[in-house]
Structures are given as C-alpha cells and as structure tokens.
Chain A
Amino acid sequence: MKFNKWLTLALVLVFVTVAAACGKQAEPPANQADGSNAGQQQDTTPDTVKVWTYPVHAAYENDIKELIADFNKKYPHIKVEYEILSWAEGPKKFDVALNAGNPPDLYFGGMNGQYVSTGLAMPIDSYMTDEIKNDFLPGTLDTMKFGGKQYGMPLYQSLWGWGANKRILDEAGIDYKKIQENGWTWDEFLDAAKKLSKTLPNGTQQYALVTDGTSIDFLDMITRSAGLVDAIDEKGNFIWNDNRIVEALGFISKLVKDGIIPKETVAIAPQKRTEMFYAGQAAIISKAIPYYDVMIANRNKDIDAGKVQGEKIEYIQLPVPHAPSVQGFGYTTGGGEGYIAFTQKGANNEQHKKNTFLVMEALSGAKAGNSANELCLPFVRKSQAKEFEGKSLAKEINIGVAKKMRENLAPQVALSIDVDKAAKLKQYREQVEKPIFQALLAGEKTPEAAAEELKNKGQQMLR
C-alpha cells in the first residue's frame, strides 16, 4: 500500500514539474533577416500570411482566389494561405487558436474587445496610408476600432432591419414606401399589426411579425430603437435604469400577449422563423438584412424551376420601428465585419507585420466590394462604390431604405470602452440580458419585474 501511494505521488510530482517547465514556452518563428534593404523598397524575402475567413457570400471563394491572384502579381514573394471556416464552428476554432497563442495573421469577423485583451490583436494604424483612410466613407473605419486604435478594415457594414412579404402588406393596405422613407413608431407598427394578424382560411395563424427568441438580437434592436445605445453609454455609464427600458420591455411583452408574434417565440430558432416567413405565416420577419432580397429572389427562381415548393415572395426591406420618444428615422443596429490583424505569441517580425497589412488591403480593396454588393449592403469605400456603380443587386425599391438605415447607424459602444468593461458587458449580455429576455418572452416575468432585475444586476455588474 505504501508503495502504491509513493508511485501515485511520484507520477503527479513528475508531471507538475514538467508542466511548469514546459508551460510558458512558445516557439518563436525563425526571424527572417530584413536583408540588405536599408529602409528603401519593400523586402522581398519570401513570407507566408495566413488568413482564416468565412463564406461571406455564396461565391466568396472565387472572390478570394481572384484577389490573391491580383495581389501576387504585385507581390509574388508573399504567399497567402487561406482557410474557409464554417460559421458554426469556425469561431470556436479561432478562439482556441487565439488563446493558445497561435492565431492566424488575418481573421474575418467583427471587432471584439476580447481580442485586444489577449494582446495578440495587431493595431494597423502605423501601416494605414492617408489615401486608404480617406477612401473609407466616414464612420465605417470606426466599426473596426477598439479603444481608439484601428485593428482591421471593414469589408461591409451589417444592417439589421425587418423584412416584409409584399403581398401581405398590400392586402392589409400598408403604405410601406412611407415607412421606408420616414421610419415608423411603435404605435404605427401596432396599428399595422392589427391588420396583419389574422387566421388564414386553412386554420393556421398569420402573424404580423416573427422573430427568433433564442438569441438577444431582437432585444438589441428594440432597446436601440428605444434610444438606448446599449446597456452602457460611450462613457461607460449604465443606462438601463430609467423609463426607456421599461417601455422597451413593455413593447416586447405586448407583442407576445397580443399574439402579434407567436407565443412560442422563445423556442423559435432562426431557421424556424425563416421557414414560417417562407410559408407565408408571417407578414414581417426580424431580423432581416438587405441580403434577404437576393436570397429570396434565388428561392423564387428555385420555385420557378420546380426545385422548391412554396409561394414566391416579393421582399420589402423595412427599418425597425422606434419608440415615440425617439425622433427621426430611428436607430439601426449594425456593425462592421472585416479582416482583423493578429500577431502570434513570441513573433516579432516587423516585415511580416507589414506584409500582413498588405494582404489585408488586398482583400479589402475596391474589387473586394463585391462582398458588399452581393450582400446588398452599402459600400464602405468610395473606390468600391465606383467599381460597382450600376451593378447593384438589390431591388430598386429596397436600395433607398438600406441607405437610410446606414445613415442612422447606432454607434457601437462596446468598442469605445476599456477592455475590462467590455468583458463585463459581455457577461451582462449573456448571463443577465438573455435569461431575462427569454423569461419575458415566455411570459414568466412581467416587463416591470424584468426591468427591475436588469437595473439591479446592471448596477451591480456594470458600475
């Protein structure tokens, strides 16, 4: 017995020591000689830049291949290795790589304070030329900044809105053109909803609105449209503590109680809500990005070709209605997504960093505007708007409203506060906002009780 104990102890001890010894080590990549170029032309030592990206749009891989080919004409010594991840698991793969100290050089996604807190996100301010900076439309570069530093360049700006089935709107006599031009208030929406909800001849219910309840996207949109830019404002003060949040929650609760949205919303996943919209069971779908225009047009083509059974839908893009107290068009929720630059643990090669930026620029330049074009989103760079002039894929009727939505984009608070606050905000969203929102949807909490809890916990966590 004594021997057994010793053996176990020895095993564990050996490995604690080994672990401690090996624990912090990292393999710094071989430093490349900067060569003989004394501050003049670019270094032509062969280099590889790793890019992890996503299927931004259906044919994005073609875009990438073309962009890289163009890039290599100018910089043949820089090899670009790209990997297209799946939306479902890609983020986790990246998270593991990042936290293991080994992220790719360029990663496609939205800017996130957590990346900065790892210390591996690479600011690109020093590499950006004035020409590039001026090419971007005002406000777009801010979507990829954190704490005042620039970490990436947006490929497009996402815009969250609502989408509608034209046939149902027409049947109910809704003047959507007016809404697209001027926005609408919650009360106006509720009025319209009365006409849009009804029981269909075959017994099923037609809802005015359908949304998913498994994420807090809807909560984000409604609170923004109530004039609350986020749970905290740009200065880091908690602002979900006045009447506005109660109003917002009251509005959501009313939607469920009055049957404007299905009572099962809390359990409806994004796929299900799309399905319901396609099946004509809802007049309006949330959240709807301008890309739905193209997606639904494709589906219509499939219906014509006999591949899919269903009703063809004509898509109308609408903005999210705002609280009566908010003036004007209302706030659009959205953000920017693009390539973000990273370094690896222990890596210190200045030339490699320059090369990384060159690749980023190549992947985000004029021709790369194809992504924004395919997604029916407004361009973020003047050169892109020029390159794709007249080739827009969105329907005429939806172009104007998309532009208006972009003009009224709400600022992204999470990017202008410090790292710790950003982390706490994230926790607040996941562990407080989400459960309370779901409880509200399921009818398990009243709006007042929910607002109270949000306020208390917020004051605790986000001081």
Chain B
Amino acid sequence: MKTNNVRAIPGPKAPHSRFVQFWKDYGWAYLFILAPVLLFLIFTLYPVVSAFLMSFQKYNVLHSKWIGFDNYAYMFTDNVFWKSIKNTVIFTVGTVPVNIAITFILAFFIFQMKQSWQTFFKASLYLPAVASGVTISLVWLAIFDPTASGLMNRVIGLFGLDPVLWLGQSNKALFSLMLMSYLGAHGSGIILYLAAMGGIPKSLYEAADIDHASGWTKFSKITWPLLKPTTLYLAVTGVITSFQVFISVYLMTQGGPNFATTTIAYLIYEAAFVFYDFGLASAQSFVLAGLIILVSVIQFKYFSSDIEY
C-alpha cells in the first residue's frame, strides 16, 4: 500500500529543560534590555556603588580612611543640613504640583487650537529650551536685578510696589528661584502632554458623547486617567530634578543669603568641591536619594493604574 502524503500529526512536544524553556519564554525580553543594562552596570551602577563605599570613608585621593557611619552621624547633627532639607522640600512641594498644573493647562489650551496655531505655540513654548543654560542664567540675573531698573522691579513698580531685593533677602530668595521655575520652560512637558493627548482615541470621546457625558465627566473619566502615565513621568522626573535643584542656586545665589537657598544638592556640591570632602558628599547624596525614592514610590502607587485597553 502506498503511503499517502499525509503529514504526520504532531504529537505533544517533548518538554524542554526548564533552562531552555526559560530562555524561550523570556530570552527576547532580556535581549531587548541587554545593552542598557550592560552600560548601566558599567557607567552608572559601578560609580554609584563606589560612591556608596566612599560615604563610609574620609575620602582622600591617596589614602581614604574608613570611618564607618561618622559621615552620616555628622550630617544629622548639622544644622545647615536640616535647613537644606527644609529648603529643598519647600522648593519641591512648591514647584512640582504647580508646574504640572501649568504645563497641563497650557497643553490643554493648545490642544483646542487649530493645527497651525498648535505648531506656533508648541514651537514658541519649547524653543526657549534651546537657549543654553549660560544665556538663561544671565537673563534671569538681569531680571532679578535688585535695583529699581531690574525688570522684575520695574514690573512690580507698575503696581506701585517698591523694588525688592529678590535674591538678596533670606525670605525672598527661595521664592525668587521658585518663580524662575514657574516661568521657565514648560515646553517639554507640554509636548509630552500633547503627544499623549493626541494618542487618546477619538472613539472614546464619541462613545461618551452618545451617552451625553458632560465636559467634566469626559475629562475626569477619559482624559485624566489616560494621561496618567505622562503625569507620572512628569511628576517623578519633576521631583527628581527639583530635589536635585542645583544649577540655578549655583549660578544665582550660591546658597545664600544666609543659607536661605541652600538646597541639599548645593550642600553636596559644596562638600565635594569646596571642602574636598567627598565622603560626606556621598553620604548626603544617599540620604537624598533615599528621600527621592520614598516620594517616587508613593507617586507610583498613586498614579500607576495599569490601563490596558
């Protein structure tokens, strides 16, 4: 009898070893993250671990001395350290939520516009980011000029107020830096929100309209939740950058007057580059990192809802 060319019905596969099965299931994922993780290990994790070890030493180029927890102990008894924490927290709490709100509102406004207007606003609100940091700090120093001819003082002069020592008085300096942040570049956040808003399928809104949903309902049930990933990103990176706020302090006030604008990051910079005490700077950095991680975890819990649709 001739055998028909019937394909053999495949039987159950022989089970692979657990190891091989593991790679079959997850191999691609690991491959995708291979390059970043490798680079991360060398250029990020290694320096971080190095720095961590430094935090237990009195660092010296040639002979670092192991001093255990002394750096940390010193930190906690240092008044300036606590003041810097207070300043940093005030700065973060005062700027991150406000900035996200401003960014969101601006993006929302732009989203209502026609395409060509959108381009115009996107460009003019983002492009200032291309003006380098040197330029920006120079401009703001001129704006906050304490004499009557400074731009800020001229503006409030229009309202009949006296010139203010924006960066010169302890009770105003920190607020001035916060003001700089409010008026600063929201451009990148706006672009992110716009990209995300554009990604919300119109069909969802159409469905809502059929159900006669109000504007507010549409916003709170569709727009806001679907923008949560972007909001989370802005919130987390916002906290990270504002907890590390350093450049503006360095360029504009150098931590003064009288420690009013000394943030933790500035203190760390001072410990490292003014006092050459890299061990202390490392210890302070890890305390800072711990704080940020704490806040970030909270933010992740609040904003993260795995929206899959």
Q: Which residues of A contact B (CB under 8 A)?
A: 11-12, 15-16, 18-20, 22-23, 92, 95, 98-101, 114, 117-120, 213-214, 262, 264, 266-269, 272, 345, 423, 426-427, 430-431, 434-436, 438-439, 442, 444
B170 lies within 8 A of A439 (CB): yes
B300: interface (CB < 8 Å):
no
Residues of B within 8 A of A (CB): 41, 45-46, 49-50, 53, 59-63, 80, 141, 144-147, 163, 165-170, 254, 256-259, 270, 273-276, 278
Tell me the nearest residue of chain B to A118, going by C-beta.
B61
Cβ A438 vs Cβ B147 within 8 A: no
Q: A95-B273, A267-B168, A426-B274 are in contact. Are A345 and B61 (CB under 8 A)?
A: yes
Which secondary structure characterizes the binding site on chain B? Answer: loop
A442 with B63: CB separation less than 8 A: no
Instruction: State which of A19, A114, A272 has its C-beta within 8 Å of the C-beta of B50.
Output: A19
Tell me, rounded to whole Å, the shortest Cβ–Cβ distance linking A263 to chain B: 8
Q: List 6 A-B contacts (CB under 8 A).
A: A23-B50, A117-B60, A118-B60, A264-B146, A267-B146, A438-B168
B145 lies within 8 A of A272 (CB): yes
How many A-B residue contacts, CB cutoff 8 Å?
Answer: 100
CB atoms of B147 and A99 under 8 A apart: no
Residues of B within 8 A of A19 (CB): 46, 49-50, 53
Q: Are A442 and B46 in contact (CB under 8 A)?
A: no
| Given A120-B62, A430-B270, A264 and B276 contact (CB-CB distance below 8 Å) | no
Q: Which residues of A contact B49 (CB under 8 A)?
A: 12, 15-16, 19
Q: Given A23-B50, A264-B168, A442-B165, list of 10 further CB < 8 A pairs?
A: A19-B50, A20-B53, A99-B61, A99-B276, A213-B168, A266-B169, A430-B274, A435-B259, A436-B258, A438-B257
Q: What is the CA–CA distance of A19 and B141 in the complex, to the nearest angstrom?
A: 42
Q: Are A262 and B276 in contact (CB under 8 A)?
A: no
Q: Which of B61, B258, B259 is the one whose CB lies under 8 Å from A444? A: B258
| Cβ–Cβ contact B168 & A431, under 8 A | no
Instruction: Assess whether B278 is in contact with A442, with CB atoms less than 8 Å apart.
Output: no
Task: Establish whether residues A442 and B270, one from each chain, have CB atoms under 8 Å apart when the complex forms.
Answer: no
Q: Which residues of A contact B257 (CB under 8 A)?
A: 266-267, 435, 438-439, 442
- Do B60 and A15 have beta carbons less than 8 Å apart? no
A427 to B78 alpha-carbon distance, docked (Å): 13
Chain A residues whose CB sits within 8 angstroms of the CB of B256 once the complex forms: 214, 434-435, 438
Least CB distance, A155 to chain B, in whole angstroms = 24
Residues on the B chain within 8 Å of A22, using CB: 46
Q: Identify the 5 closest CB pairs spanning chains A and B, nearest first.
A: A267-B168, A264-B146, A438-B257, A267-B146, A435-B258
The answer on a CB contact under 8 Å between B62 and A118 is yes
Which chain B residues lie closer than 8 Å to A345 at the CB level? Answer: 61-62
Bound-state Cα–Cα, A244 to B62, Å: 41
**CB-CB nearest in chain A for B253:** A214
User: Which residues does chain A contribute within 8 Å of B145, judged by CB atoms?
Assistant: 272
B168 touches A266 (CB 8 A): yes
Instruction: Tell me the bound Cα distance from A307 to B45 in angstroms.
Output: 54
Query: Are B62 and A101 in contact, with the CB atoms below 8 A?
Result: yes
- Once A266-B165, A426-B275 are accepted as A-B contacts, the answer to whether A119 and B60 lie under 8 Å apart by CB is yes
Are A214 and B254 in touch, CB under 8 angstroms? yes
Are B276 and A118 within 8 A (Cβ)?
Answer: yes
A residues near B141, Cβ cutoff 8 Å: 269
Q: Would you call A98 and B53 a contact (CB within 8 A)? A: no
Bound form: Cα–Cα A128–B273 in Å: 32
Among A18, A95, A100, A435, residue most surrounded by chain B Cβ atoms (within 10 Å) = A435
Whether A92 contacts B273 by the Cβ 8 Å rule is yes
Residues from chain A with a CB closer than 8 A to the CB of B144 are 267
From known contacts A15-B46, A262-B147, A264-B165, infer whether A114 and B276 are also in contact, taking CB-CB under 8 Å.
yes
Instruction: For the complex, give the distance between the alpha carbons of A95 and B274 in Å.
Output: 9
User: In the complex the two chains form, is B61's CB within 8 Å of A100's CB?
Assistant: yes
Report Cα–Cα, A119/B80, bound state, in Å. Answer: 29
Whole-angstrom CA separation of A70 from B145 in the bound complex: 48
Please state if B258 and A423 are interface contacts (CB–CB under 8 Å).
no
Q: Which residues of B contact A117 (CB under 8 A)?
A: 60, 276
Residues of A within 8 A of B259 (CB): 435
B258 and A438 within 8 A (CB): yes
Residues on A with C-beta less than 8 A from B254 are 214
Closest to B276 in A: A114
Choice from A23, A120, A442 contacting B168 with Cβ under 8 Å: A442
Report Cα–Cα, A20/B52, bound state, in Å: 11
Q: Which residues of B contact A101 (CB under 8 A)?
A: 61-62
Minimum CB–CB distance for A420 against chain B, Å: 11
- Taking a contact as CB atoms under 8 Å apart, the answer to whether A267 and B167 are in contact is yes
Q: How far is the CA of A87 from the CA of B45 in the complex (A)?
A: 32
**Which A residues are in CB contact (< 8 Å) with B163?**
264
Listed residue (A22, A264, A268, A345) with the most chain B CB atoms within 10 angstroms of its CB: A264
Q: Please name the residue on chain A nearest to B147 by beta carbon.
A: A264
- Evaluate contact between B61 and A120: CB separation under 8 angstroms: yes
A213 to chain B: which residues have CB within 8 Å?
168
A101 to B50, CA, bound (A): 15
For B274, give the chain A residue with the smallest CB separation.
A430
CB distance from A441 to the nearest CB of B (A): 8
Q: Which residues of chain B come closer than 8 Å to A20, judged between CB atoms?
A: 53
Q: CA–CA, A213 to B61, complex, Å? A: 34
Q: Which residue of B lies closest to A112 (CB)?
A: B276
Interface centre among B41, B61, B167 (most CB of A within 10 A): B61
